[in-house]
A and B are shown apart, each in its own frame.
Chain A
Amino acid sequence: MGASKRRILKIWLMIRLTTVILIATLLQVSAASLAQRVTIDQKKTTLAKVFREIHRQTGYDFLYAKGLLDQKKLVDIKAQNEPLELVLEKVLFGQSLSYSIEQKMIVIKEKSIIAKVLDYLDQIDIRGKVVDEQGQPIAGATIKVMGSSLVTSSNEAGIFTLKEVAGDAILEISYVGYTTRALKVAKDMGVVKMEMSIGKLDEVTVNAGYYTVTERERTGSISKVTAATIEKQPVNNPLMALQGRVPGMEITQLTGMPGGGFKVQIRGRNSINTAVGNDPLYIVDGVPYPVNRVSSNTSSAIFSAAGASPLSFINPFDIQHIEILKDADATAIYGSRGANGVVLITTKKGQSGDAKVNVSVNQGYNEVGHRIDLLNTPQYIKMRQDAFKNAAATPTARDYDVNGSWDMNRYTDWQKELIGGSANTTNAMLNISGGNQASNYLLGANYYSEGTVFPGELGLDRAGIHFGLNIGSVDNRFTGSFLANYSHTKTNLLRVDLTNWILLPPNAPSPYDQYGELNWENNTVYLNPFAQLFLTNNAVTDNLIANLNLNYRLIDKLMFKISAGYTGLKRAEQAKTPLISRSTALASTATNRIADFSNNYNHHLIVEPQIAYNRQFSFGKFEALLGGSLQANESEIQTIRGTGFNSDDLMGNIGSAATLTTPQISYLQYRYNSLFGRLNYNVDGKYIVNLTARRDGSSRFGEGKQFANFGAIGGAWIFSDEKIIKDKLSFLSFGKLRASFGITGNDQIADYGYLQSWSSLGTYQGISTLYPQRIANPEYGWETNKKTEFGIQLGIFRDTVNLEVSHYQNISSNQLVGYPLPLSTGNATIQMNLPATVRNSGWEVSAQVKILDRSDWNWLTSINLTVPKNKLVSYPGGLENSPYALNYVIGQPLAIRKIYNVTGVNSQTGLYEIEDKNGNGVLDNDDRYLNKFIGQYYYGGLNNSIQFRGVSLDFLFSFNKQNGLSYMNGSSNPGFFDYVNPINNQLAFVLDNDKVQRPSSVNAAFVQFLNARENGGENIVDASFIRLKNVSLTYDVPNKWLSELKIASAKISLQGQNLYTWTNYLGLDPETQRMQGLPPLRALSLGLNLSF
């Protein structure tokens, strides 16, 4: 080919190019002037059909040569009110056809060879930015060139680039939760604004820990609660915000004390041995977070046996979302710690854009929502006098309440005096967020304070800062994030819970005498509840969670990530028992002054390198992940007790103690290394298989037992995408079947358990000695949990109704139990794995119904229901010989009591009558032949969100059908009086009640009462309840009022928690089921939230 020919080609090209530019300009003009728009959604359709539809909508005619369309490919076309030109581009893409619009006529022609070549030569590099409705960048949006395999995603700054894209190609930009957009390519795509797709539940992303999935395509059982829900609740602990909202997650608040403990179980109790933990694994921003062991035993009385809740050191409002992983598919990637479920907490991150300031202040109060009906003084005195009459006895010198020592006409409402106060709450927050395209930041500060309902100045103060930084390089190869959350929490509480003494006799003397001094009423008062206010228990906790994430895209589809995190919790406690708190009736010396000084810490370090590979094939999407985890945990609790102080005032100084002892000391190191991986294969977004596996090594086990493998397979079929369903069941907008099976483990056992340990218990000849504490068993390993799940998810009538139903079955085996040994071995039990099995199974249902879905009126109702079943399936080796013989029955749930048959109250003696089943004349363990269940039959929540213009109202009812411990659990028999700690008042319900033991002062009555209460199951009652858990009313102040004040948005909210409880339960609260602990408080709070 000569030079002349080349020149001709060049001219040709120039002419062609000019024409293209001209036409393009013309088209722009015509498009602008005509503004024809098309809405179309067709799949695998002929071009002819599509043209007919466009003709129907626009009135434009199509002109093309006969037979031109015959050989053309079928097309998929989806457009929502898009310009005609764009729709045509999409339709004709890759078809070797061109179009032109002349008047109201669309001319379709075969592209010339040259045009086709030009298409190729026309390749350009493009660049753009994806933002949301507020102009904030969207990271991770998918940018795909239609009809090709070219795909990329936007970086943290929303920026995307693609190289060598055909000049006439169409870009499809999608992001979960947003409507997908299609655009013609251009070198500079500019800013692409995405619109939120409201109500698209199937486009929500879900954090699965090491990876994210869409709600639509997830194969596992994962529940999600977002900041929007959390922020509506005036709570001090994120766990409170989850109550009643997550199917399969049973959260029990154990006390109403601020910072107090919780019991959390996901899908039931798996372990026979109560020493093996059943807590889920908590991960905050990728770093494991301590479950317990942060407060010393000194604090157990006030915070419940579970101690202070570590999650109370995290500001709930710093949380972006919480995911709860439940089934094998979701949890197996957490291997040995996935058996009891995983709770993933993700804190808030920054958003790019101009600096945005958000300020919020909430002010409110907490109070005991429900008081119990107790005997008043005349009723109480009569009960006591009846007690002596029935026992044919007279009051002794110690019966101060009725022997004349105490005024028998005096009345004190101890509930009002002790727990009747109201606790002020303040919650203030300031957040600043902003950044450029590549990087952004979030800076937050918060302060929370909560008083108590007790008299005196007690409470919790928490101050925290939150920091989030996202960084990215311009070429989008490198991204990173850093999150840090620090809080400083001070609690000034008591060693004891004053709720203990609401059962004091109503005629007990005034706590203070006429001079305002503590009143011991001539040494007849052994316990003055107001003296307990001197039993201070103060703690300071510092909590730091920091996490660094670095991602590097090696090649297009291969990403290398490394994350490193640290959690450090440090807690210092000081608890005092000064002499002033002790009754003058007790002989007190300096040795009765006790001060406990505790220093505890818990450090957790984690490093997790990962490689992710994602590839889109023509036949499906493939995702692979390989990662490793190195973890080191170190914790220590050390309590030093000083006694023998010379004065109450010196008790803050440990140096003033005459004697020092260490009532509690524990030091633990725990290390962990793992390899994990995931393979996910997704065909057409319809058929999805997800494989996860993990190999774990743990220092909690002995040589040879340190490593174990876990894994799961999950699958989903989105059947609503099948043609037959679309055709025949068109009301079904979404339908998915999913199933999973896998094995996870539980390693929540004591550290060092495999080693023989020697402890110091005393001295000999003045030198400390050692004695074997625990027999060595290097042979025990993990408890394993085989999980199976089936689920169905449906969206009906364009997702007006969304329903998810899951059935799970978890079989927990290889149980770590205390296996009984012959005494001659020198040890009564040894920690061992036994192939005993516990089965947890159940149904979980959650549904959302859009009752109203209009532009200014929205009403969404959500309901969730869990029906759990728990059963001890087998216990090889004989349950009856095991240490658990009196606790469990094969075929029954773990949560039972083996009890006597209490046949009623004997009308003659007035005592409980208990059947002597084996007829041997005494009550013994063989007579405990009945089983009574303590636990939940079903539970759930019903939430309503109603929005009318700027006003939104949310209210949640939680419900529980359950058996629990009644008031009786913390009470003595009617008529009994213990002068040392006279918490002997009774519920008014016992009066003249022939189901309750008659008042009696004799010891035999007390013994029989205890028999009936403890082993007779009389204290187990129906503790079902429905609670108005949360109400939130928010008003968005209209913009027109704000703009002058330079305020971007303003919200005023009124929030309430635990507002009302419907129950027949006899006792303080059906959730805590304790008489000695503060019930969950009713909270009310008014808040203002401003954004600038």
Chain B
Amino acid sequence: MVFLQLSCKKFLDIDPPKESLVGSEIFKNDDVATSAMTGVYQNMIANGYASGSTTGITALTGFSADEFISHNSSLTEFYDNQLTPLNGTIANSLYYAPYRHIYAVNSILEGLSNANSVSTLVKAQLQGEALFVRAFIYFYLVNLFGEIPLHTTSDYRITQIAPKSSIANVYSQILKDLKQAELLLSDNYITIERVRPNKGAVLALLARVYLYTGDFVNAEKHASQVIDKASYKMVAVNEVFLKNSQEAIWQLMPNPNNNTSEGLTFILAAAPTFATLRPNFVLNAFEANDSRKINWIGSYGTHYFPFKYKVRSSATVTEYSMVMRLAEQYLIRAEARAAQDNISGAIEDVDVIRGRANLPLLKNSNPNIGKVELSTIIQKERRVELFAEWGHRWLDLKRTGQASAVLAPLKPQWQNTDRFYPIPQTEIDRNPNVTQTEGY
């Protein structure tokens, strides 16, 4: 009997490790499968591009654009737009970290497609979330880097030799994922908080993607679908960034017993060592009496800082990190309507934003405004409404073709190719099929 065991493979079947779970164990029940998805959010907020901290998209693109002044020599490459492929922050926080999450969601999607023991409802929810997160991450990758490797599998044998995809291909994958997610997710948030994406988040991102790709009909349509939902409301300026704010479409929940990294990173309690707002922005971008200037900008001596999040550090958690919110949807629809020559519709939307900021409404002050002037106002409203939030300014400058015009005067070493960040050198070294972005 013993001899029979000797060359038997079955004897070598061992129990899985206890301190970690192997891939095949994840998708055997609803709770564990769910914790794999929430692990991505937990990881996003912990550090790197989505964390809102010093290595987040908000801060880094703020230096690249015209939002922040750098007080840290290690950020000079961002601030002067003199990045090199050897920059470690690019490699770790803006490239490797998002791709790690791509790997995670691809693994989840693959695991769910094979799993039989995850209930249908949970499976649909998780697939929807994973597809949404993949689209969200690729949206930022394609906007930060331009052409990038597009992976929809976790198999390293394929991904390690995949070449870059064109920007158009990346966008079509994003749309494909979002449309599928739209069918899978429901209008309700799966938990009582707004920290896991629902259908509203999918529609909101769809609206943004259509706007970026110039499909104004669809941009308007999807923004409307979000705006029309009863669960989203514009709230008072000082309540926007509170946890579970009615304006929130998707928030990330900070680490336990912490408020947001944005608060910790930007609110000055001492002389600045990282970032402050450019005085030019603070002093000139806002109209008089804009309540956003009053409420969302703080100062420490002569330094200004973003004060959207009010809590620098406290064990009582009152704020979550805002990823997507309703105000942006109004601005998307305004821009889309203006582009389709629906001036009055656009004015209506802009006025929602202006009204909340305590500014005169366009419908009263300038009802016959021309399309060009209106577009300028929409872009200005985007700038002051969405500053220091998820790189909106940097992305807007680029997509509207204003980057060089705005940045060249501020930054002596600016070149038009600086619109895209370089692909990290380690990526180029290790994947012979990936080429460097133009200009690097």
* CA of A756 to CA of B162, assembled, Å: 21
Name the CB-closest residue of A to B156: A825
Q: Is A665 an interface residue (CB 8 A)?
A: yes
Residues A773 and B20 in contact, CB atoms below 8 Å apart: yes
Query: How many cross-chain pairs have Cβ atoms below 8 Å apart between A and B?
Result: 193
* CA of A636 to CA of B434, assembled, Å: 43
Nearest CB in chain A: distance from B108 CB, A:
9
Give residues of chain B (112-169) contacting chain A, Cβ–Cβ below 8 Å: 148-149, 151, 154, 156, 159-160, 162
Residues B22 and A673 in contact, CB atoms below 8 Å apart: no
Name the CB-closest residue of B to A698: B12
Q: Is A620 an interface residue (CB 8 A)?
A: no
Q: Is A67 an interface residue (CB 8 A)?
A: no
Residues B6 and A769 in contact, CB atoms below 8 Å apart: no
Residues A763 and B42 in contact, CB atoms below 8 Å apart: yes
Number of interface residues of B (CB under 8 A): 64
Q: Is A820 an interface residue (CB 8 A)?
A: yes
With A758-B39, A763-B256 given, is the CB distance from A822 to B6 under 8 Å?
Answer: no
Residues B23 and A673 in contact, CB atoms below 8 Å apart: no
* CA of A628 to CA of B1, assembled, Å: 12
Q: Is B15 an interface residue (CB 8 A)?
A: yes
Give residues of chain A (666-715) contacting chain B, Cβ–Cβ below 8 Å: 666-675, 695, 697-699, 706-707
Residues A825 and B17 in contact, CB atoms below 8 Å apart: no
Q: Which of A590-598, A826-834, A1008-1016 contacts B (4 or more CB under 8 A)?
A: A826-834
With A706-B9, A764-B253 given, is the CB distance from A699 to B14 under 8 Å?
Answer: yes
Q: Which of B70-78, B96-104, B302-310 contacts A (4 or more CB under 8 A)?
A: B96-104
Give residues of chain B (268-325) contacting chain A, Cβ–Cβ below 8 Å: none
Q: Is A39 an interface residue (CB 8 A)?
A: no
Q: Is the interface of B mostly helix, strand, loop or mixed?
A: helix
Q: Which of B217-225, B342-350, B409-417, B423-431 contacts A (4 or more CB under 8 A)?
A: B423-431
Residues B104 and A771 in contact, CB atoms below 8 Å apart: yes
Residues B19 and A825 in contact, CB atoms below 8 Å apart: no
With A673-B6, A674-B6, A828-B96 given, is the CB distance from A822 to B430 under 8 Å?
Answer: yes
Annotate A587-606 by CB proximity to B: 1 below 8 A, 0 otherwise.
00000000000000000000
> Which residues in A have their C-beta under 8 angstroms from that of B361?
none
> Which residues in B have their C-beta under 8 angstroms from that of A825?
99, 103, 151, 156, 159-160
With A765-B193, A769-B35, A770-B36 given, is the CB distance from A821 to B156 under 8 Å?
Answer: yes
Residue of B3, B17, B106, B429 near A881 (CB, 8 A) is B429
Annotate B250-266 by CB proximity to A: 1 below 8 A, 0 otherwise.
00010110000000000
Residues A766 and B256 in contact, CB atoms below 8 Å apart: yes
Q: Is A906 an interface residue (CB 8 A)?
A: no
Give residues of chain B (235-263) contacting chain A, Cβ–Cβ below 8 Å: 253, 255-256
Residue of A562, A607, A764, A776 near B39 (CB, 8 A) is A764
Q: Is A516 an interface residue (CB 8 A)?
A: no
* CA of A764 to CA of B258, assembled, Å: 12
* CA of A203 to CA of B5, assembled, Å: 38
Residue of B2, B12, B19, B99 near A826 (CB, 8 A) is B99
Nearest CB in chain B: distance from A695 CB, A:
7
A628, A758, A760, A775: most-surrounded residue (chain B CB, <10 A): A758
With A757-B23, A822-B430 given, is the CB distance from A697 to B103 under 8 Å?
Answer: no
Residues A762 and B17 in contact, CB atoms below 8 Å apart: no
Q: Is B38 an interface residue (CB 8 A)?
A: yes
Residues A759 and B256 in contact, CB atoms below 8 Å apart: no
* CA of A824 to CA of B13, assembled, Å: 33
Residues A767 and B35 in contact, CB atoms below 8 Å apart: yes
Name the CB-closest residue of B to A756: B23
Nearest CB in chain B: distance from A1022 CB, A:
38
Nearest CB in chain B: distance from A697 CB, A:
5
With A756-B23, A757-B20, A881-B429 given, is the CB distance from A630 to B6 under 8 Å?
Answer: yes
With A752-B22, A757-B20, A770-B32 given, is the CB distance from A823 to B9 under 8 Å?
Answer: no
* CA of A671 to CA of B13, assembled, Å: 8
Q: Is A755 an interface residue (CB 8 A)?
A: yes
Residue of A675, A697, A752, A777 near B11 (CB, 8 A) is A697
> Which residues in B have their C-beta under 8 angstroms from that of A666?
17, 19
Residues A759 and B7 in contact, CB atoms below 8 Å apart: no
> Which residues in A have their C-beta under 8 angstroms from that of B162?
824
Nearest CB in chain B: distance from A228 CB, A:
38
> Which residues in B have their C-beta under 8 angstroms from that of A827?
100, 103, 156
Name the CB-closest residue of B to A667: B18
Name the CB-closest residue of A to B6: A628
Residues B16 and A752 in contact, CB atoms below 8 Å apart: yes
Q: Is B230 an interface residue (CB 8 A)?
A: no
* CA of A674 to CA of B431, assembled, Å: 40
> Which residues in B have their C-beta under 8 angstroms from that of A670?
14
Give residues of chain A (79-124) contacting chain B, Cβ–Cβ below 8 Å: none
Q: Is B186 an interface residue (CB 8 A)?
A: no
Nearest CB in chain A: distance from B75 CB, A:
19
Q: Is B41 an interface residue (CB 8 A)?
A: yes
Residues B95 and A630 in contact, CB atoms below 8 Å apart: no
Residue of A607, A630, A706, A826 near B103 (CB, 8 A) is A826
Name the CB-closest residue of A to B431: A822
Nearest CB in chain A: distance from B125 CB, A:
14
* CA of A37 to CA of B40, assembled, Å: 93
Q: Is B191 an interface residue (CB 8 A)?
A: yes
Name the CB-closest residue of B to A777: B156
Nearest CB in chain B: distance from A924 CB, A:
11
> Which residues in A have their C-beta under 8 angstroms from that of B40?
771
Residues A629 and B100 in contact, CB atoms below 8 Å apart: no
* CA of A652 to CA of B344, assembled, Å: 74
* CA of A720 to CA of B125, assembled, Å: 82
> Which residues in A have their C-beta under 8 angstroms from that of B7?
673, 675, 695, 697, 707
A668, A669, A706, A770: most-surrounded residue (chain B CB, <10 A): A770
* CA of A672 to CA of B7, assembled, Å: 10
* Top-6 shortest CB links A-B: A826-B103, A769-B39, A756-B23, A667-B18, A822-B431, A628-B6
Binding site for B on A (CB under 8 A): 562, 607, 609, 628-630, 636, 665-675, 695, 697-699, 706-707, 751-752, 755-773, 775-777, 820-828, 830, 881
10 A-B pairs (CB sep. < 8 Å): A607-B2, A667-B19, A673-B8, A758-B20, A762-B43, A765-B191, A772-B100, A772-B104, A825-B156, A826-B104
- Given A628-B3, A771-B104, A822-B160, 19 more pairs with CB closer than 8 A: A665-B18, A669-B14, A671-B11, A671-B14, A673-B11, A695-B7, A752-B17, A752-B22, A756-B22, A759-B20, A764-B38, A764-B39, A764-B253, A771-B36, A772-B100, A775-B154, A820-B430, A823-B95, A823-B430
